[in-house]
Amino acid sequence: MRLDYVSIFPDFFTPLELSLPGKAADKGLLAFGVHDLRQWTHDRHRTVDDTPYGGGAGMVMKPEPWGEAFDELLTPATTVVFTTPSGEPFDQRLAEELATREHLVFACGRYEGIDQRVIDHARGVAEVREVSLGDYVLNGGEVAALAITEAVVRLLPGFMGNAASLVEESHAEGGLLEYPVYTKPPAWRGHEVPAVLRSGDHGKVAAWRHEQAVRRTAERRPDLLAPSVLDDGTPIVRATPGDAGELLTLQRACWVQEALANDMLDIPALHESLDDVRAWLGEWDTWVVRRAGRLVGAVRGRLEGEHTWDIGRIMVAPDLQGSGLGRVLLEHIQAVAPAGVTSYVLFTGAASARNQQMYKRAGFRLRRDLASPPGAVVLTKRR
């Protein structure tokens, strides 16, 4: 992954040379580029700002230097991150999504912000994400860019010395906050390590940690425990045997589209019978969405081995595709995976570009090294 930073204060990014990011760069896992926006100015004073149209306090960053900077740095494979308090909230899900990108460019604004035309122009060249660290205002975007960088690059394969540490931290396992952690000595200033952690019983330890994670989340972030619902309040519920007929109809409608996209008819989901659907309903953890009594979406998952959650049959009625329902179903099936799951796996058509794009944006990576069904590709993601 390559990360570029454009700022009028490039010295802010000296910390990139420290600790794990610096070591990762030395090993070739990352490449950093820091650029002074003023190098793309042409006046004697190297001016990067001017008064705002319409009046008001403060100054606005001029479009010309940004345009020249982007001319040099952006490609269609670039994702530009504008750090701004008016952006979408930054969270672990967004960090996972950005970790799948090949090239990130951080545009660090100052003063009252960057001329909106710069953002509009960038959208025509590359992917653009406007991102906020939270509901507060900083003097500039540099601190936010560093925080986002640290959250993103630590998710890259090979970055962490012990990859298992990513699984149990806050916001990782099912979105819960992390459980309390302890180390030696067993007693300190009248406080003792819980006996269950010293018992040697790994099952009891795992159960205690999960219970503590749920309790801590309920106390501090109850919003993270809300059930999965659509924007209109429609719940995602477990499928029942009585749903088999409608699932078969929805499945055929979806996989006719897949057959057309991949120019092949030999797709198992297209040829299953009602009995086949009834059979796999008993083997998979299946969830459905109904609107006005009509089954319009479904997804399923099951444990593969001890630690892998196999995700499949993400289905959305053709007239609702593109509405975001598929993304919500994908998020839901990951959230309901058992506590011991450490990774997700799914496959889709090799020519199903729209599906692959959704999965990549959700943090999945193509795994051409893994065997896949004919005409399909496999994607995986760490939990």
Question: Which among 301, 269, 282 is positioned nearest to 243, based on CA atoms?
Answer: 282
Give the helix ranges, DSSP H, for 111-201.
Answer: 116-123, 142-153
Question: Which H or E run contains 154?
Answer: none
321 C-beta neighbours (distance < 10 Å), count = 15
- Strand-pairing partners, residue 2, are 31, 103
Q: Binding residue per annotation — 135?
A: yes
C-alpha distance from residue 34 to each of 79, 104, 194, 382 (Å): 16, 12, 47, 30
Q: Is 285 annotated as a binding residue?
A: no
Residue with tokens 């593969």: 304
The residues near 344 (Cβ < 8 Å, ≥ 6 apart) are: 308, 309, 311, 334, 337, 364, 380, 381, 383
109 has binding-site annotation: yes
Read off the tokens for 338. 């058992």
Is residue 20 a known part of a binding site? no
Q: Is 136 marked within a binding site?
A: yes
User: Is 131 labeled as ligand-binding?
Assistant: no
Q: Encode burial over 326-344: b for 16+ CB neighbours within 10 A, e otherwise.
A: bebbbebbbebbeeebbeb
Q: What are phi and psi of 52, to 5 degrees?
A: -80, 140
153 is in an annotated binding site: no
Binding residues: 109, 133-138
Binding residues for S-adenosyl-L-methionine: 109, 133-138
